[in-house]
């Protein structure tokens, strides 16, 4: 059994991770970490665990857990993990960071966008961006996995085949994305109150969202030059889910068959990618799963490709992908503990 510890287990992503790991046949959750609920039983914080899990939350550090845990999941805000991880920790255990501290390869870009000092920049060279569809081989070889952001997972996977095949003008990429409210975390803020969110939709962090450089970094690796794109996120009144609609000028006339073949070849054998042709993906069909549904079409009138992706931001966009990374790193079947079918209606 893999001995797993979760730090930040009482946030939305941390709780989703706990729920997956408690059902995982190869994992023993040996630590449920929380600073806010230190000393509280988890079934009192989240009554969904009544009768199944009554462990007490504890506020232990990464260094305290490194000697006993095979893997430590960090579900923490940015700027915290980089101060807690060092080479000694990584010599003892695998770290899967659901935060942003090790996602960007350039420390200057990280500090510019996140406005905090990175406390362990030397570790960036050994960190692997944990998007299995792009970096599976590297994930098997590292003890520091940077779990991608939710918007980024959806947007990168939706666009990657087009970028690699050179089918779109990389200077024309526009991403219009929508997220459920859990993407903002469980902390109390006015903008996330029911009366502020219900019956409303709004764009936010226009031209300034911190996932932008992450998307640009990963798509640039698939291209022959640096990509700069426009990314606009929106908040919609639903609990969970992300829909990314991506637009770009085509570099040639395209057909539905050509697009379908490009995506089929790129994602052949990927267990969590569902290609739905030119249909429009919907968040309800991926909610509660580690799947991404991708649809793509060509508009001959405007000579633009419209690629669309849908994920559950708490699963493929956070906790599910973290477990997928763990499975790969420890040599398990990638789908272990993650072969969920969406509930409907919900």
Whether the CB-CB separation of 82 and 119 falls below 8 Å is answered with yes
pTM of this prediction? 0.96
Query: Which residues does residue 95 pair with via DSSP β-bridges, in sequence order?
Result: 72, 144
Tokens in use for 127? 């960190």
**Burial category of 160 from C-beta neighbours within 10 Å (exposed 0-12, middle 13-18, buried 19 and up):** buried
Q: 């991506």: which residue's tokens?
A: 246
Whether the CB-CB separation of 264 and 272 falls below 8 Å is answered with no
Nearest one of 18, 2, 8, 20 to 70, comparing CA atoms = 2
Query: Which residues does residue 58 pair with via DSSP β-bridges, in sequence order?
Result: 33
Q: What is the pLDDT of residue 346?
A: 78
Q: What is the pLDDT of residue 187?
A: 67
306 phi/psi in degrees, rounded to 5: -115, 110
Which CATH code is given to the segment(s) 151-311? Answer: 3.30.360.10
Catalytic option among 57, 150, 154, 246: 150
Domain 2-147+318-329 has CATH 3.40.50.300: no
Q: Is 195 part of the annotated catalytic residue set?
A: no
Nearest one of 204, 201, 195, 258 to 232, comparing CA atoms = 204
Tokens in use for 323? 């477990």
Whether the CB-CB separation of 328 and 132 falls below 8 Å is answered with yes
Q: What is the mean pLDDT of each run of 10 residues along the chain (346 residues)?
A: 97 96 97 95 96 95 97 95 96 98 97 96 97 98 97 98 98 97 75 82 95 98 95 95 98 96 98 97 97 98 98 97 98 97 88
Q: At what angle do helices 150-165 and 132-139 cross, to 10 degrees?
A: 100
CA angle 73, 79, 84 (to 5 degrees): 55
Gyration radius from the chain CA atoms: 20
29 phi/psi in degrees, rounded to 5: -80, 105
Q: What is the pLDDT of residue 195?
A: 80
Q: What is the pLDDT of residue 226?
A: 96
DSSP per-residue string spanning 48-80: GGTTT--PBPB---HHHHTTT-SEEEE---TTS
CA distances from 327 to 11, 74, 138, 267 (A): 22, 16, 13, 19
Where does 142-280 have alpha helices with state H? Answer: 150-165, 194-197, 212-221, 256-266
34 phi/psi in degrees, rounded to 5: -160, 130
Q: 């300034």: which residue's tokens?
A: 208
DSSP per-residue string spanning 99-115: SSTTT-S-HHHHHHHH-
- Give residue limits of the domains in the chain: 2-147+318-329, 151-311
Q: What is the pLDDT of residue 188?
A: 64
Q: How many CA atoms lie within 13 A of 324 on its CB side?
A: 29
Whether the CB-CB separation of 328 and 139 falls below 8 Å is answered with yes
């Amino acid at each position: 059994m893999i001995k797993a510890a979760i730090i930040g287990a009482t946030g939305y992503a941390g709780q989703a991770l706990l729920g997956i790991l408690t059902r995982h046949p190869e994992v023993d959750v040996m630590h449920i970490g929380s600073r806010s609920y230190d000393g509280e039983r988890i079934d009192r914080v989240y009554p969904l665990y009544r009768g199944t899990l009554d462990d007490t939350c504890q506020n232990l550090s990464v260094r305290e857990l490194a000697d006993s845990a095979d893997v430590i999941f960090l579900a923490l805000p940015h700027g915290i993990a980089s101060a807690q991880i060092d080479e000694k920790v990584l010599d003892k255990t695998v770290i899967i960071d659901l935060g942003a501290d090790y996602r960007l390869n350039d420390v200057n870009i990280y500090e510019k966008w996140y406005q905090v000092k990175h406390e362990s920049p030397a570790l960036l060279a050994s960190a692997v961006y944990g998007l299995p569809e792009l970096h599976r081989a590297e994930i098997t070889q590292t003890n520091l996995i940077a779990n991608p952001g939710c918007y980024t997972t959806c947007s990168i996977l939706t666009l990657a085949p087009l970028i690699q095949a050179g089918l779109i003008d990389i200077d024309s990429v526009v991403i219009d994305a929508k997220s459920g409210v859990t993407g903002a975390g469980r902390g109390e803020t006015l903008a996330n109150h029911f009366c502020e969110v219900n019956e409303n939709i709004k764009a936010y962090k226009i031209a300034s969202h911190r996932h932008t450089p992450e998307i640009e970094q990963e798509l640039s690796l698939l291209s022959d030059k640096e990509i700069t794109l426009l990314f606009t996120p929106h908040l919609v009144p639903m609990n969970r889910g992300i829909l990314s609609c991506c637009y770009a000028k085509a570099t040639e006339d395209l057909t539905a068959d050509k697009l379908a073949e490009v995506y089929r070849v790129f994602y052949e054998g990927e267990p969590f990618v569902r290609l739905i042709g030119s249909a429009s993906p919907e968040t309800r069909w991926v909610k509660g799963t580690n799947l991404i549904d991708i649809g793509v079409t060509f508009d001959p009138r405007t000579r633009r490709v419209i690629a669309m992706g849908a994920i559950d931001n708490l699963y493929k966009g956070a906790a599910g992908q973290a477990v997928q990374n763990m499975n790969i790193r420890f040599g398990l079947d990638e789908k272990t503990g993650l072969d969920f079918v969406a509930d409907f209606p919900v």
